[in-house]
Structure 1
Amino acid sequence: MDATWVVLLALVLGISLGAGFAVFVFAAARRGEQVQQVITPSVPDGVDQILGVLESIGIVLDASDNVLKASQGAFALGIVRSERIAVREVQQIADEVRRSGEAQTRTVRLESARSGDAARVLAVRAAPLGTRYVVVLANDLTESIRLDEVSRDFIANISHELKTPIGAISVLTEAIESSVDNPERVRRFAEKMTAEADRLAALTADIINLSKLQADQALHMPELVSIDAVIDHAVRDNAVVADARQVTIARGKPTGLTVYGEESLLAMALQNLVSNAVQYSPDGSRVGVGTRLVDDTVEIQVTDQGVGIPKEDHDRVFERFYRVDGARSRNTGGTGLGLAIVKHTAQNHGGEVSVWSQPGNGSTFTLRLPVATGDEGISAPTSAERPERTQI
């Protein structure tokens, strides 16, 4: 009997110890899962998909400010590095959200790590995501701010440029009224009024053309365009002014090259380049227009023997209303928009324009455009047919 009680007691004790050990193991496992969740928390459902389609910058932070998820833009701008926010101002916004429990919105200026690059301006908004996370969203305002500044400058420049011919016409009108008894003076004032009216018309036309070029991201009526025809048009339009100043416009031999685009736009662009070359060339000098094929690019070069352009002005000459010599440009009837029109025409055709110049050695403007290939319905010249560099 005593032996039976001993066996039963041992059995109960074994069951109790086994159950207690099992409870201990289960509790330890649960604790380990909780610790693992703290160490490697998961992102709430749907956040991955949202960050994947965001065009703006998106970041999700855990309770320890580790970056759980971030959009590509956050890495590209250097906001996130090594799973942490690398921009102090952005981290401060997230910290404020944790302290207040409310969404925060601020503007952050992000300086570029590379010298010469413009700083970026971000609109940053951070808010709680559940009880443990913080989500940070940012929109890049840099381009919209730049466009606003350009628009303001454009309006200011237009107002300034229009004042001159309008003011001159007003003064000349009064002068004619006071000179009705002097036919010679009336004739002279009328000629000046006509010149100012022509200048006002040219400025208005350039403003309209430039506005269209900047507004349109694609060509409306693309077609195969003969470069020879475009050059003929530009030379012909500037012949009268060139002859009056005894400036010779020399052009290279026809090449038969074609590009894909709108002939009227390309003719306007090249006409502006040739016109500038004639205007800034001394009397009795020479302007050259040459064409060559470099790989898959048509290069049209316009060279003058003028005073040249300082190196610091090479990029700025393509800005609207920028003039290296403002007084001379006005005297020659320039609007200050010609090279801006050339730049935007080139960009709309998938090309570019550049300038080489040295003070005292003249200038060479090069318009580069993609050559038309078989995809546009015409074969590019073979190596044997490709023109050599034209001497101008």
Structure 2
Amino acid sequence: MSSSVALLVGGVVGLVVGVLVATLLRRPRRPDLEQSAPSDGAAPEAVLSRRLLDLIDPAVVLIDPDDVVLVANPAARSLGIVRDTRLLVPELLELARAVRDGGRRRAEVSLPGSVVGGGPRQVGVLGVRLERGSDPAAGPVALVLQDVTEARRVEAVRRDFVANVGHELKTPVGALSLLAEAIEDAADDPETVRRFATRMTHEADRLARLVRELIDLSRLQGGEPLPELVPVEVDTVIAEAVDRTKLAASAKQIAIVTGGEGGLVVRGVEYQLATAVTNLLANAVAYSPEHTRIAVSARARAGFVEITVTDNGIGIPREDRSRVFERFYRVDQSRASRTGGTGLGLAIVKHVATNHGGSVSVWSEEGLGSTFTLRIPLAAGADTPATPGPAGDAPAEHDLAGGPPAADAPKGRS
């Protein structure tokens, strides 16, 4: 168990043991007694102690030398590890027996999804003997369980993130180092120097973009408090995103078409929303062939504004669609190297959507293109259209390349 979890579990065990001693070991108890409130004749401190045991977050189980459950607080029963007077998890029973033989023990135990309901859970467990008389093994054992599933997930994500950042930084930094050596060796050849210098500029831009997006992602993930949400005009957000992407689109002779409903207002942070739509457009430009077009439109639907970006690009394989919003995940590594992508753009879109109480989704077919839909809640009091959108949540008819993007997609070119 990590030190932070051990401290957390250890910090409550003294309280738990004190409560158990005060309420349960003063006199013999029946196994089912823990399910009823203390009698009116119970000592006031025993009543308060038992109520405290029922209210604390850690799951607490007290079992006797025959592995019969004497007490299980509501947190323990909600985990599904106790049924009547039986402890259902063999690893916990083994830990209890080890505690009887050798005293206090710490461990981490995986609770299967079939027991807890839903996905498997990871718990940190501290077991202690509540000794009675001269034979410590004859006394009950208290198990204190703290759910550490989320902590373990965060630790794993952090490890992967650090490893990925190191890998991503290594590429442009290594390229810059090699290019600098090449320029030094070619000092007498101006044409070669210019070619390498251009390449160095490209790698420096890639490195700067990676650092900038890492900072943006850190802020969105809670490194800084979310700014106050204010009314934001969707038309302004789309216009800003189109303006930021116009140069890259023009270089490939890609037309960006805008349309849909005008005058929509959401509550949010304008620069974050503009960044999210910009990332969607930049992704569409990077993965679309020359002489095509990209459509971006907005509409109000079911209390949300849906901003859709549709392209005629290469599409996303079915097995990759669920992962495109992961940090550093790329469908085509070789193409990403050519486009200079960092693998963070869509992750930033996802976090912007989450921070605004919205979501982002993708429809795609290989060879037909992709449609990304960013959903942000409408501002309170904003007007919604009298005519509802198409039934269901499926994307509307695709007007660009045979698949379904947003309704009201524009028909002309910009």
Note the aligned Cα RMSD (angstroms): 2.7
Moved over 4 A (4+): 35-47, 62-66, 385-388
Does residue 161 of structure 1 match 2:168? yes
Q: What displacement does 1:118 show?
A: 5.0
Does residue 134 of structure 1 match 2:141? yes
Aligned to 2:203: 196
1:336/1:383 CA distance change after superposition, 3 Å: closer
Structure 1: gaps spanning 5 or more residues = 1-34, 374-378
Aligned to 1:313: 320
Q: Counterparts in 2 of 1:363-378, with a 5 A limit?
A: 363-373=370-380
Q: What displacement does 1:386 show?
A: 7.4
Q: What displacement does 1:82 show?
A: 3.1
TM-score (norm 2): 0.78
CA contact (8 A) 1:48 1:69 kept: no
Q: Distance in 2 between the 1:350 and 1:258 partners?
A: 15
CA contact (8 A) 2:81 2:87 kept: yes
Aligned to 2:121: 120
Larger mean CA deviation between 145-154 and 199-208 belongs to: 145-154
Aligned to 2:409: 391
What are the Cα deviations for residues 256-312 of structure 1, in whole angstroms up to 9, with x where unaligned? Answer: 112212111111111101100011011111111111222111111111111111121
Does residue 301 of structure 1 match 2:303? no
Q: Distance in 1 between the 2:224 and 2:96 partners?
A: 39
CA contact (8 A) 1:306 1:360 kept: yes
What are the Cα deviations for residues 167-212 of structure 1, in whole angstroms up to 9, with x where unaligned? Answer: 1111111222222222222211111111111111001101111111
What are the Cα deviations for residues 200-242 of structure 1, in whole angstroms up to 9, with x where unaligned? Answer: 1001101111111112485223211111111111111111111
TM-score (norm 1): 0.82
Aligned to 2:288: 281
1:201/1:37 CA distance change after superposition, 3 Å: closer
Amino acid of the structure 2 residue aligned with 1:103: R
Amino acid of the structure 2 residue aligned with 1:90: L
What are the Cα deviations for residues 119-171 of structure 1, in whole angstroms up to 9, with x where unaligned? Answer: 32211112234645432211122211221111111111111111111111111
1:76/1:365 CA distance change after superposition, 3 Å: farther
Amino acid of the structure 1 residue aligned with 2:95: I
Paired residues in the alignment total: 352
1:362/1:331 CA distance change after superposition, 3 Å: same
Amino acid of the structure 1 residue aligned with 2:141: V
CA contact (8 A) 2:68 2:85 kept: yes
Q: Distance in 2 between the 1:71 and 1:144 partners?
A: 23
Amino acid of the structure 1 residue aligned with 2:378: V
Q: What displacement does 1:51 show?
A: 2.6
Q: Distance in 2 between the 1:130 and 1:365 partners?
A: 62
Q: Distance in 2 between the 1:273 and 1:267 partners?
A: 10
Given the alignment, which residue of 89, 92, 99 partners 2:91?
89
CA contact (8 A) 2:260 2:409 kept: no
Q: Distance in 1 between the 2:32 and 2:221 partners?
A: 50
Rg larger in 1 or in 2? 1
Q: Distance in 2 between the 1:172 and 1:224 partners?
A: 48
Given the alignment, which residue of 256, 273, 297 partners 2:263?
256
What are the Cα deviations for residues 324-349 of structure 1, in whole angstroms up to 9, with x where unaligned? Answer: 00111121121111011111111111
What are the Cα deviations for residues 98-124 of structure 1, in whole angstroms up to 9, with x where unaligned? Answer: x3373332221122229x965322111
| Percent of residue pairs bearing the same amino acid type | 46
Amino acid of the structure 1 residue aligned with 2:386: A
CA contact (8 A) 1:59 1:135 kept: yes
Amino acid of the structure 1 residue aligned with 2:328: F
1:262/1:66 CA distance change after superposition, 3 Å: same
Amino acid of the structure 1 residue aligned with 2:121: R
1:360/1:385 CA distance change after superposition, 3 Å: closer
